[in-house]
Amino acid sequence: QVQLVESGGGLVQAGGSLRLSCAASGRTFSTSTMGWFRQAPGKEREFVAAINWNGGNTDYADSVKGRFSISRDNAKNTVYLQMNSLKPEDTAVYYCAARYGISWYGNRWYAPSYDYWGQGTQVTVSS
């Protein structure tokens, strides 16, 4: 079993920044693909960003490209999501997720391909 614990969410004004953290424990972190997803009220969960096991590959949703940056520190078993130039439409519950045994070339935006999920952290961007 893998446990994922997010932190760093909160309330921020439009144009501001937040950094989300996700600390993992249990199964070996360094072999995982890590992803961030978000879900706004009344909407389906959507892909935000992903990073492969060694941080050499990243992928982003078009809506956040150029504003968000995903990174990982395997020595700390932690993945980060740096969010800059935040917009009200970024408001959502953000979830950290991990998957194992699937190639980086698998559909990184497909939420059911991820094996473990954090509890979610609320990000609210005011106008």
Write the pLDDT tens digit of every residue in 26-85. Answer: 888 888 999 999 999 999 999 999 999 889 999 999 999 999 999 999 999 999 999 999
The strand pair at 121-126 and 10-13 is best described as: parallel
Per-residue confidence (pLDDT) for residue 103, from 0 to 100: 86
d(Cα 81, Cα 50) in Å, to the nearest integer? Answer: 10
Contact 1, 56 (CB under 8 A): no
Contact 27, 41 (CB under 8 A): no
What average pLDDT is seen over the chain?
A: 95
Residue 7: is its pLDDT beyond 90?
A: yes
Structure tokens at 106: 């698998």
Instruction: Give the pLDDT band of residue 123 (cuts 50, 70, 90).
Output: very high
CA dihedral 100, 104, 106, 108 (to 10 degrees): 90
Instruction: Give the pLDDT band of residue 115 (cuts 50, 70, 90).
Output: very high
Per-residue confidence (pLDDT) for residue 108, from 0 to 100: 93
Per-residue confidence (pLDDT) for residue 98, from 0 to 100: 95
Average pLDDT value for residue range 87-110: 94
Tell me the residue type at 69. Answer: S
CA angle 9, 115, 38 (to 5 degrees): 30
